[in-house]
Amino acid sequence: MCGIHGFISQKLSVDSANSIIRNMVNSTHHRGPDFCDFSSMPPVYFGHNRLSIIDLSEDSNQPMTVGNYTIVYNGEVYNYKEIRSKLKQKGVEFLTASDTEVILQAFINFGEACVEEFVGMWAFAIFNNNDNTLFCSRDRFGIKPFYYISSGQEFYFASEIKSLKQTPVFTKNLNLDQVSRAMQLGWVVDKTETYYDCVFSLEPGTNLFYRDGQINKKQYWGVSKKRSSINLSFNDATERFKEMFDDSMKLHLRSDVPVGATLSGGIDSSSIVCNILKNERAKELNTFSIYYEGDLAVDERGFIKEIEEKYKKQFHLYYDSPATSQIEEDFFKISNSMDFPLSGSSPISQYYVMRLVAEKGIKVVLSGQGADDYMGGYMHSYYRYFADKIAAFQPLSFCREFKAYKNNYSPNIKKQIDLLIKSSLSLFMSENKLYNLEYKKYHPFLDNQPKERAGVSLYSDSLSRFNSFHRGLVNTSSLPTLLHYEDRNSMAHSVESRVPFLDHRMVEFLFSLSDNHKIRDGFTKRILRDSQKENLPSKIRWRTDKKGFVTPGEVLWLRGSMRHLLEVDYTQLSFLDQNKCKRVINEFKKGSNSQANLVWRLAHLNYWLKNIC
């Protein structure tokens, strides 16, 4: 896990270019404090921050050159040993034991198709000195970031915006389309778009070629629009999923340094931890969490103790709820680490968990991120699930599952009616229309030029409503933002976070199965629950509430010593409807929490524009 930087420019002198690449590298020292270096290959300049995880020797430092090829790489390709063996059979000789050299040799031998062999997370750039081509690639889900600026005959790239701010082509002009989406929906990015007009994000599952001022991009992976269905019984599918999850866990535990795990007490992170404990896959395991007591308490300790009791081990470390004064003291540092405004206060909890990980000397942690986004883990998956049953004329199945839903979640009449109404909307409206409805109607629409904004555009497909919804979560609405915070919070403390549920083989498999394997008998993520029945404590396996690293920040902190954030400088927010903004904040000040999330976004956008942008 590292930080990558680079550019191609004919305009700069060698001295100026060396100064810029040095500043880029220094700006993200936190991403890789073990070794930092840069290479000058005029007009090409590469820089790298190394966090040593695989092959700790100096031989694996970057930038790394083999023949006429030079690479800077961030991430982990977990099946690098298998690819290495395949390359050795072709006569390739290796000088290191690193996955970096495996990636570079795979590209030399297989070309751009090499990425289709990789299982893992990555963002890398390879310069081919033979034909002066820059080849860049980002992993299938965008677990690792890759930002770039293309300006005339110049091309700059980096892992974080901080690095691109050191370049002569960076400008602070806002992309108001994305700012508006972030305010209304909480999305940090939308496909290629960021908060800045000049900065673009390379889409997940995409390769990029740059040569002579021209960019060509090619998508090498995506959740298929017409993925073939696999006809398996629930029991057979569960057994196959269990095998795939076990294999993913084995690969994600490959490391030359100790590995820990974040643990919230929920099904996903608990499945990871219990899989390690059940199979004795770590000699010593530390897990990490956070809790809040008092008003608006958030406390998962009871569930975590269930795991400790089942496996007769004490392994968990807690971060006691940080005082508001401590958060205020760290607030600039936290905000600056994120690059963009915080869409909620929950990432702050994760920030402190990662701080605890680093304090205990752990450089790699496993996280449960991603499972909800393709297994039917969110409660609003039910809207599409029930809509599909109605559309398929399955009244008995609908009634059976609706009754099971009521038994498991005990919704009041209002929630039941709400579920039926939203299921009806899903029946008659596409995902794109539903998201645009939420974009304009869920919160007061604060943009003062709504007709000029691009709105929301999801990839069109012919999947079921249920799978179309989850494809949108994976590609656009949910997962990209969650992964953004996962990366920034871990790397702010020089920690590598790994996400075993985002093994693309598992994701492809789940998308090929019947929806009834994911929601079944009124339970979300049923295939995961049943696959881990031997590992998980019963109280966790059958949980029907859903919590992550949440915080009470939107209410408790903004009403406490951080209430000064509510004193918004509206001159900075001229692109928003001033009257609506003032009304939303004033209602919050008077005691209404109905728009607390929106108040937080307004307050932090104002803070970010003033202190970080």
What DSSP string runs through 35-47?
Answer: EEEEEEETTEEEE
Q: What pLDDT shows up at residue 367?
A: 97
pLDDT means over runs of 10, the chain (613 residues): 94 97 98 96 97 95 96 98 97 96 98 97 97 97 98 96 98 96 94 97 98 96 68 94 98 95 94 94 88 79 92 78 85 97 94 95 96 94 95 94 94 94 93 91 88 83 87 94 98 98 96 94 96 96 79 87 91 92 95 94 97 95
**pTM over 0.75, yes/no:** yes
Read off the tokens for 80: 């690098």
Q: What pLDDT shows up at residue 152?
A: 87
Q: Are residues 53 and 183 in the same domain?
A: yes
Q: What pLDDT shows up at residue 514?
A: 92
State the Cα–Cα distance between residues 535 and 543, nearest whole angstrom.
15
Q: What pLDDT shows up at residue 318?
A: 74
Out of 541, 576, 596, a domain closes at 541
The boundaries of the domain holding residue 314 are: 234-373+478-541
CATH number for 141? 3.60.20.10
State the Cα–Cα distance between residues 353 and 28, nearest whole angstrom.
20
Number of helices and strands (H, E) in the chain? 22, 17
State the Cα–Cα distance between residues 204 and 388, nearest whole angstrom.
28
Q: At what angle do helices 381-391 and 413-428 cross, to 10 degrees?
A: 60
CATH number for 339? 3.40.50.620
Q: Are residues 205 and 85 in the same domain?
A: yes
Read off the tokens for 28: 């993200």
State the Cα–Cα distance between residues 266 and 263, nearest whole angstrom.
8
User: Is residue 188 packed enough to be buried (19+ CB in 10 Å), middle (13-18) or exposed (0-12)?
Assistant: buried
State the Cα–Cα distance between residues 501 and 498, nearest whole angstrom.
9
Q: Are residues 54 and 110 in the same domain?
A: yes
Q: Are residues 423 and 439 in the same domain?
A: yes
Sign of the four-CA dihedral 49, 52, 56, 60: negative
Q: What pLDDT shows up at residue 228?
A: 58
Q: Other C-beta atoms within 10 Å of 291: how many? A: 17
Residue 518, C-beta contacts closer than 8 angstroms, at least 6 positions apart: 375, 376, 381, 466, 510, 524, 525, 526, 527
Residue with tokens 């629950």: 529
CA dihedral 388, 393, 396, 401 (to 10 degrees): 10
Residue 228 covered by a domain: no
Residue 547 covered by a domain: no
Q: Are residues 330 and 309 in the same domain?
A: yes
Q: Would residue 613 show up in a list of annotated catalytic residues for this protein?
A: no
Residue 225 covered by a domain: no
Residue 188's nearest CA partner among 142, 220, 140 is 142
Residue 226 covered by a domain: no
State the Cα–Cα distance between residues 474 and 372, nearest whole angstrom.
10
Out of 489, 512, 541, a domain closes at 541
Q: What pLDDT shows up at residue 107?
A: 98
Q: Are residues 336 and 430 in the same domain?
A: no
Instruction: Determine the residue type at 274.
Output: C
Out of 190, 219, 248, a domain closes at 219
356-366: pLDDT as tens digits: 999 999 999 99
Count CA within 13 A, CB hemisphere, residue 607.
Answer: 25
515-518, Cβ contacts within 8 angstroms, sequence gap of 24 or more: 515/376, 515/385, 515/388, 515/464, 515/466, 515/467, 516/234, 516/397, 517/232, 517/234, 517/237, 517/238, 518/375, 518/376, 518/381, 518/466
- Decide: 73 and 139 in contact? Cβ < 8 Å: no
Q: Is 249 helix (H, G, I), strand (E, B) or coil?
A: helix
Q: Are residues 169 and 308 in the same domain?
A: no
Q: What pLDDT shows up at residue 227?
A: 55
Q: Is 238 helix (H, G, I), strand (E, B) or coil?
A: helix
Q: Are residues 39 and 183 in the same domain?
A: yes
Q: List the Cα angle 456/205/104 in 5-degree steps.
A: 150
Largest interatomic CA distance in the chain: 74
Residue 419 covered by a domain: yes
Q: Are residues 14 and 30 in the same domain?
A: yes
Q: What pLDDT shows up at residue 260?
A: 95
Q: What pLDDT shows up at residue 549?
A: 64
Q: Are residues 144 and 15 in the same domain?
A: yes
Q: Are residues 367 and 387 in the same domain?
A: no
Residue 471's nearest CA partner among 411, 511, 502 is 511
**H/E run at residue 3:** strand 2-8
Q: Are residues 240 and 348 in the same domain?
A: yes
- Decide: 324 and 561 in contact? Cβ < 8 Å: yes
Residue 548 covered by a domain: no
Residue 229 covered by a domain: no
How many distinct structural domains can be found in the chain?
4
Average pLDDT, the chain: 93
Q: Tell me how far CA of residue 552 lies from CA of 292, 321, 349, 568, in angstroms.
A: 8, 10, 10, 21
